Structure 1
Amino acid sequence: LINARDAKTGEVGAFDVDLQPIIEALASQAAVALDNQLLLDKQRKLLESFIQVIASAIDAKSPYTGGHCQRVPVIAEMLAAAACDSESGPFRDFALSEDEQYELYIASWLHDCGKVTTPEYVVDKATKLETIYDRIETVKTRLEVLKRDAEIAYLKAATEPGADAESLRAEFEARLAELDDHGAFLENANLGGEFMADEMIERVQEIAALSWRDASGQEQPFLSENEVDNLCIKRGTLNDEEREVINNHIVMTIEMLEQLPFPKTLVRVPEFAGGHHEKLDGTGYPQGLTGEQMSLPARMMAIADIFEALTAADRPYKKAKTLTESLRIMSFMVKDQHIDAELFRLFLEGGVYQRYAEAHLLPEQIDDVSIADYLG
């Protein structure tokens, strides 16, 4: 509203005196509207910054999950964009408004906010025997005690009249080799991984049945019951109790987010953020939702969270997986009805995995992928 224009000639002129109050009122309303929009933009930026500060704090809480809260939104946004861009197939009619995209964006940043309540000793448990320190060092000390005892027994026997020194020496060296092998095996078992074979569990139990004498001379089992239980963890480094503690983070995420007075445009943030550990067959947690009960954005979040976790190079119990390894595992999850098959197809055919890999994975993780191998 700079000035009036003649309706016929278009020439700029002065406003009629009678119109000036109306024009001034309109100008005032426009100024108020601009101020309100600027305030809304500032509030939005403040909200985003606050959310990112929380996410960064969660990542900084553990050196083993640093960056997870920042990388999951990247994958979720890529997958959502691929679905919106689909011109054929099951997502050809899928669309997210600007508000819905923002809702997913906020949810993906907050999907692990409940981890602020998770104890560090659980999040940071790098090996199966780790507590305040890694108890594998105590186990190695016991092995040294057994080696010492073996040496003492050998030296005593070797000094006996008529002793076969050569045979005794061979037995002693064989015993040392056996103990060294036990030690190497236990160190490897302590590291954790994606799977532990039954044969390895049996060997842990066999070693546990050995005995040693403590500082007071009392005979003790080589491994305590707690040490055996932890060394026999089949996947990762957490035992059942610790797994329950860390799984509780998603319950806390939902509870925390449901307490926030989100506006209508963000009302589904708790659902999106709280659904990334649910599975289509209903065996996920915390609510045991089925695929029909999960929204599409929540299913996108699940894929984003899984792919980031598989390819992450900062997890304590495993090395970073390559693209082919990660996608193979996810294809099995599709067959087991844990993740959405159509979204996984889009994840592959839309090149989401490749674009993310080029920006965030280590060069040695990016191998040649034939997506046909992972599509049923």
Structure 2
Amino acid sequence: MSAHHHNPGDPFGVYVHWPFCAAKCPYCDFNSHVRHKPVDQATFAEAYRLEIAHMAALAPEREVTSIFFGGGTPSLMEPDTVGIIMEAIASHWPVSADAEITLEANPSSVEARRFKGYRQRGVNRLSLGVQSLNDAQLKFLGRLHTADEARAAIELAREIFPRLSFDMIYARPGQTPQAWRSELENAIALAADHLSLYQLTIEAGTPFFDLHRKGRLNVPDQDLAADLYELTAGVTHQHGLPAYEISNHARPGAESQHNLTYWRYHDYAGIGPGAHGRLTVDGRKLATACERNPEIWWQQVMVEGNGLRESEHLLETEAADEFLLMGLRLREGIDPARFEAMAERPLNPDRIRMLASQGLLETSKAGRLRATPQGALLLDAVVADLAS
């Protein structure tokens, strides 16, 4: 018997990908595209409406508990475009009265002027791509805003939105623990209730990857990266924003509900170019992925009603492994009984004991299995060991 992955009352998220950017950052390997002519937003909005209808037919009668506009740069969308997409979601699924509705934004002044329009259309949480509070570092990261513009955007967002998060990138070339501590404390002073703090990673296919390969870009070695990670956890905890996931920190109760839906392995629909989704259909997890190129996606949606490139049921073992990989990112860890129900086998107690003896895994008082702070640094290896 297969484990049922979605129960009535479980969270259900809708992820909407807006793939367009004003410029491509040199570290970014997301599905984002620069267009030198204005994007016809009304034409694209029609395709989003069609794809939402298709996803709702696959997963009917779900109550939406979170919506997340990611990108790309969703703050390049007109508020009316956001409104059309929100209305389409609400016309196919009931939206919970207290649904968390997040939009990612860049701090440039042009986009900040749209904030009020997004709030009027129901967005209640903003996620700002700040990345650094140092002008030279912002330039190095290819960002189009200054540190002062970032501060002004944070201030404006705090006035308009009930909830605010912003991103920072650390473990940059030449960054010392002292310099990062100072920048992080400045960020915490500006933060409302949530911070996403990512180590700079060198991704294949990016300009930074080419520079790194040629020896022209050096990032901190493993030991320094681990020190910076531990410093980040310590400083945020001290200031009341503990890590609840490897890269995410929040005041208790202010965690991103949408991202928790991913990490707790609940269902979400992925809408738009390059969006991924996980839906329970006929008691099994369906993995979906849409065409990445925006114009090809649009053409396909207008002809077929959806832009899906992949749509396949996962084997129970594959779903259980994903559950493990996502859930162990969380400080709360996972319920081993849920893994057993999905995989139709328990986790190997010998492996659990071995990883615990190495200080990488622990069992919480509630009986949940979780990575230790050391285990979080080696999470891929821990998961591979557990899943084998």
* Fold match by TM threshold 0.5: no
Between Structure 1 and Structure 2, the one with more strand by share is 2
What range describes the TM-score normalised by the shorter chain of this pair? under 0.3
Between Structure 1 and Structure 2, the one with more helix by share is 1
Structure number, greater radius of gyration: 1
For normalisation by structure 2, the TM-score amounts to: 0.24
For normalisation by structure 1, the TM-score amounts to: 0.25
